């Protein structure tokens, strides 16, 4: 992994393509996500906090920050707002005083489940734009290369949390 | 492409995975991009406008909006700021009065080239995180599935502009 393994031109071509493709897809996901949760008076970060705390059955602020890809202070501030709305509670564990745990209240669970019940894959543009691939290959793409990149960017822990979150969705619905 | 071709659970699993992977990668690209151009007193959107106008040898505001994945008014407002700094000019074409064209000034070209000269792939986290894939496969991933999704999201034109931009980089450096 030294600089001799790629040329400057190769690097800029690759970075530019990655930037354009991931910006285009993420911005589309962001827009649809905002539309979906607007009726619940939640913004994307707040819903992401609820999502993580729900599917991980409680999470630390640091896990929310990491998996939600937001600064620790952003994760904390949005969690604080949700606490004020009675949707979650903060706590410390006897054996681990350093971390702050976030857990949804009954009201938080109810609201999160309502948002999920409202999710309509027909209105999810990236889903729809992926159907031609599914019809060719028989299943949605796995994106193992993206997983490998994310693993090297954020560490194994990120993909472990993703797996726990996907496992919880599999069990739940 | 009707709703019978996938289950609700399949859809939500796929969407969740896509959201987590593209958010993680795009946020990392965004952070590195901001670091890179900070010394030039440009924000990411301004640099993206310069990038597009430079590599397309002039572009319409609507092309900048589409390929930059920003609202038309955002593309226009940032272009306006760059015009005030003497980095680009607006014009209309005799044969096409509806579109506003953006072209870099000599000063704009000079500044953009300076930013490119400063680009250091060693500081590009996504590049570095992709090197293990390159060392396995011998080249960087192509991401044809992402291209297909983007094509269905934004139309053929998006990938055509991407090709023009990549072609320009190939010729330039």
**Any A CB within 8 A of B72 CB:** no
Give me the residue from A6, A141, A173 closest to B9, CB to CB: A173
Q: What is the pLDDT of residue A33?
A: 97
For position B86, which CATH number holds?
Answer: 1.10.10.10
pLDDT (0 to 100) of residue A93? 84
Three-class secondary structure of residue B59 per DSSP: strand
From chain A, the residues in CB contact with B164 under 8 A are none
Q: Give pTM, 2 decimals.
A: 0.94
Number of domains in chain A: 1
Kind and range of the H or E run holding B142: none
The residue of chain A nearest to residue B25, with distances taken between CA atoms, is A150
Residue A4 lies in a domain: no
- Residue B132 CB neighbours (<10 A): 14
B42 located within any domain: yes
Report the distance separating Cα B100 and Cα B45, nearest Å: 18
Inter-chain touch A3–B148, beta carbons under 8 Å? no
A90 touches B: beta carbon within 8 Å: no
Under a CB-based contact definition with an 8 Å cutoff, are residues A36 and A123 in contact? yes
Do B19 and A9 count as a contact with CB atoms less than 8 A apart?
A: no
Distance from CA of B127 to the nearest CA of A (A): 7
Burial class (CB in 10 A: 0-12, 13-18, 19+), B62: middle
- In chain A, which residues have pLDDT < 50? 1-3
Compute the distance between CA of residue B140 and CA of residue B155 in angstroms, rounded to an integer. 25
Residue B15 lies in a domain: no
pLDDT at B46: 97
**Cα distances (Å, whole numbers) of residue B101 to B75, B79, B89, B97:** 12, 10, 8, 10
| B157 lies in some domain | yes
- pLDDT at position A3 is 47
Question: Taking phi first (over 0 means left), then psi (-120 to 50 degrees means alpha), and beta for anything else, what does residue A143 get?
Answer: left
The pLDDT of residue B3: 47
Print the domain residue range for A38.
29-172
A7 within a domain of the structure (yes/no): no
pLDDT for res A127: 95
A43-59: per-residue pLDDT in tens? 999 999 999 999 999 89
- Is the torsion defined by CA of B60, B64, B66, B70 positive or negative? negative
pLDDT tens digits for chain B (173 residues)?
444 589 999 999 999 999 999 999 999 999 999 999 999 999 999 999 999 999 999 899 999 999 999 999 999 999 999 999 999 999 988 888 888 999 999 999 999 999 999 999 999 999 999 999 999 999 999 999 999 999 999 999 999 999 999 999 999 87
């Amino acid at each position: 992994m030294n600089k001799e393994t790629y040329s400057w031109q190769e690097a800029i071509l690759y970075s530019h393509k990655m930037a354009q493709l991931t910006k285009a897809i993420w911005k589309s996901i962001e827009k649809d996500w905002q539309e979906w949760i607007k009726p619940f008076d939640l913004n994307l970060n707040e819903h992401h906090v609820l999502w993580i705390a729900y599917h991980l059955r409680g999470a630390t602020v640091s896990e929310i920050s990491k998996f939600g890809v937001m600064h620790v202070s952003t994760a904390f501030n949005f969690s604080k707002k949700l606490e004020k709305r009675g949707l979650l509670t903060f706590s410390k564990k006897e054996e681990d005083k350093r971390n702050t745990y976030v857990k949804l209240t009954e009201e938080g669970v109810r609201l999160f489940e309502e948002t999920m019940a409202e999710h309509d894959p027909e209105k999810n543009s990236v889903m729809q734009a992926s159907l031609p691939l599914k019809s060719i290959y028989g299943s949605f793409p796995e994106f193992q290369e993206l997983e490998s990149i994310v693993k090297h960017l954020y560490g194994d822990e990120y993909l472990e949390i993703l797996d726990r979150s996907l496992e919880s969705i599999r069990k739940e619905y």
